[in-house]
Amino acid sequence: GAAPGCAGARSPIQSRPSKSGRGLTPDAIREHAPKILTTAQREAYFETGFLCAEGLIPDAWLKRLNALSEAFIDESRGVTVSNEAFDIGPRHSSDTPHVRRLRALVDRHPDFWRFAAESPLADIAADLVGPDVKFHSSKLNYKWPGTGEIVQWHQDIPAWPHTNYSPVTLGVYLTDCPAAQGPLMCLPGTHNGSIFVHRDDAGAWTGSVRAADLATVAVSRAADPAAPPRPPLPPHARPAHPTPPH
């Protein structure tokens, strides 16, 4: 049979802008002692633009999130087209659900908001972007077997409404996602590089980096930040990253 897919929750969190209208600099963030992460972990994030940190989410939370995920997948069996809750894939049916994304998690169930507000997530974000943080949004992504689940090379910030680079996305794998299942990859150091155009030659939005621009970076250096079991994965708003085929 087909290999199982991966599931992971993502929550963009941003620091409130400084007086300059930008996020805090690493030096300013270093003035605040980390609450959850080690100093070495925080420095790795500043250097590479992403971080893998194991053992930070209690098992009870992971079990609850997986139970909620299963309940919503079951609910999706009665859905035939995408709506405000479900982003439905082309192979979706009542017998074989194909949900690409559960949207706006905190609007779906109170426990999703409890996870955002009461788990270590907010303190992890504060360790990375500064102590004054606010929640922006959340979603639960699913990756099923097949080439249709590829996400091309892109940066997050061009698709977001923010006017500075303070957001950090905290991603938590709910299930193991070995290399064969195409986990998220990140290109170290691209958070300090160019913001690439995410449109085609005609100016239409594609959500991915142009091939000519991609040829200017060493994509062979892309790293899988997390080895199983998959821990929280905070990427900066700017690193280039794809998810390969499953």
What pLDDT does 19 receive? 46
The burial of 163, by beta-carbon neighbours within 10 Å (0-12 exposed, 13-18 middle, 19 or more buried), is given as: exposed
What pLDDT does 76 receive? 97
Pairing of strands 168-173, 99-103: unpaired
Q: How far apart are CA 199 and CA 192, in angstroms?
A: 21
Map residue 229 onto helix, strand or coil.
coil
What pLDDT does 147 receive? 52
**Who contacts 216 (Cβ-Cβ below 8 Å, separation ≥6)?**
none
Q: How far apart are CA 196 and CA 241, in angstroms?
A: 12
- Low-confidence spans in the chain with pLDDT less than 70: 1-23, 146-150, 224-237, 239, 241-246
What pLDDT does 158 receive? 87
What pLDDT does 3 receive? 34
The pTM score is 0.81
What pLDDT does 7 receive? 57
Q: How far apart are CA 125 and CA 101, in angstroms?
A: 23
Question: Rounded to the nearest 10 degrees, what angle do helices 121-129 and 110-118 cross at?
Answer: 50
What pLDDT does 13 receive? 55
Please, what's the largest Cα pairwise distance for the chain?
A: 56
Q: How many CA atoms lie within 13 A of 227 on its CB side?
A: 0
